[in-house]
């Protein structure tokens, strides 16, 4: 059984890399026709969505969606379980995700991120955080959405941990909505925490025939009060996370 799971995960990892490399190569070729940086990024975002949709087919994701995917642009706020969260949330949404600076150095994946609208931040570096806030401002001012995980780290707590306020401050200043999104995995081992590295986690997570995931797109929140935005967003996401787990526990009983 362990051998079969490892073999399945290894095949999926190989396909993951092949699909990503192939679509990335096409992206680089099509970008030759765009001189404007913004157009190159928009082209990259569309290609990224195509990669994500293919990867879900390959990796055996079973995603249950609640609510309606947002029709307005704004600040998409999600809880954080794994590096896989954006691939769940952005399956159909075109947005600029914020990622950890370390991901930029990952072979292939880092290169793809750089050309598909990912904004990198070194969270422990004040200067990096300031630069990121400025980038977020520019993106929001242009009418695009930002995907942010304000907890700043992955974890397996039943509800969200403290939110960092930076992006909420910008949303309040610019008058853009905050769009809460809750995401969770049936198997708690699918969370990427502690000293996990990419390949061992990938093999463990996608060695199963199905990876069951729930995602809930919640109603946009409009306010110029930062504390209200944070509190309302946190409450909505927490309620969904608790509901997800309750549903899974009841189905297992």
pTM for the model stands at: 0.88
User: What are the CA-CA distances from residue 26 to residues 23, 46, 136, 248 (Å)?
Assistant: 5, 12, 27, 40
pLDDT for the residue 246: 95
Q: How far apart are CA 111 and CA 134, in angstroms?
A: 22
Are the CB atoms for 63 and 168 separated by under 8 Å? no
pLDDT for the residue 71: 86
> What contacts 243, CB < 8 A, 6 or more positions away?
none
pLDDT for the residue 253: 65
pLDDT for the residue 185: 96
**Run means of pLDDT, 10 residues per run, the chain, 253 residues:** 86 90 88 83 86 90 92 92 90 84 75 80 72 82 88 92 91 92 93 80 88 95 95 98 95 76
Residue entry with tokens 């409450």: 235
Q: How far apart are CA 118 and CA 74, in angstroms?
A: 16
pLDDT for the residue 235: 97
Are the CB atoms for 213 and 63 separated by under 8 Å? yes
Give the residue extent of every domain in the chain.
2-252
In CATH terms, 2-252 corresponds, of 1.20.120, 1.10.3470, 2.40.128, 3.40.1130, to 3.40.1130
Question: Which 8-state DSSP code applies to residue 123?
Answer: T
pLDDT for the residue 116: 81
> What contacts 4, CB < 8 A, 6 or more positions away?
none
Q: How far apart are CA 248 and CA 246, in angstroms?
A: 5
């Amino acid at each position: 059984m362990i051998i079969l799971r490892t073999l399945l995960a290894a095949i999926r990892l190989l396909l993951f890399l092949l699909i990503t490399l192939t679509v990335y190569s096409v992206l680089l070729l099509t970008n030759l026709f765009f001189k404007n940086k913004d157009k190159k990024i928009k082209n990259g975002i569309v290609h990224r969505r195509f990669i994500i949709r293919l990867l879900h087919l390959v990796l055996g994701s079973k995603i249950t969606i609640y609510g309606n995917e947002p029709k307005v642009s704004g600040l998409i706020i999600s809880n954080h379980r794994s590096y896989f969260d954006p691939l769940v949330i952005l399956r159909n949404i075109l947005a600029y995700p914020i990622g950890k600076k370390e991901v930029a150095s990952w072979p292939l994946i880092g290169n793809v991120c750089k050309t598909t609208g990912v904004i990198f931040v070194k969270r422990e570096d004040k200067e990096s955080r300031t630069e990121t806030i400025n980038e977020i401002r520019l993106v929001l001012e242009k009418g695009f959405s930002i995907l942010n995980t304000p907890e700043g780290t992955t974890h397996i707590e039943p509800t969200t941990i403290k939110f960092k306020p930076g992006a909420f401050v910008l949303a309040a200043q610019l008058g853009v909505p905050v769009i809460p999104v809750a995401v969770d995995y049936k198997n708690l081992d699918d969370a990427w925490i502690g000293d996990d590295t990419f390949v061992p986690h990938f093999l463990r997570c996608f060695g199963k025939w199905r990876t069951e995931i729930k995602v809930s797109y919640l109603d946009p929140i409009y306010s110029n009060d930062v504390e209200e935005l944070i509190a309302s967003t946190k409450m909505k996401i927490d309620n969904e996370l608790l509901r997800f787990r309750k549903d899974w526990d009841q189905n297992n009983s």
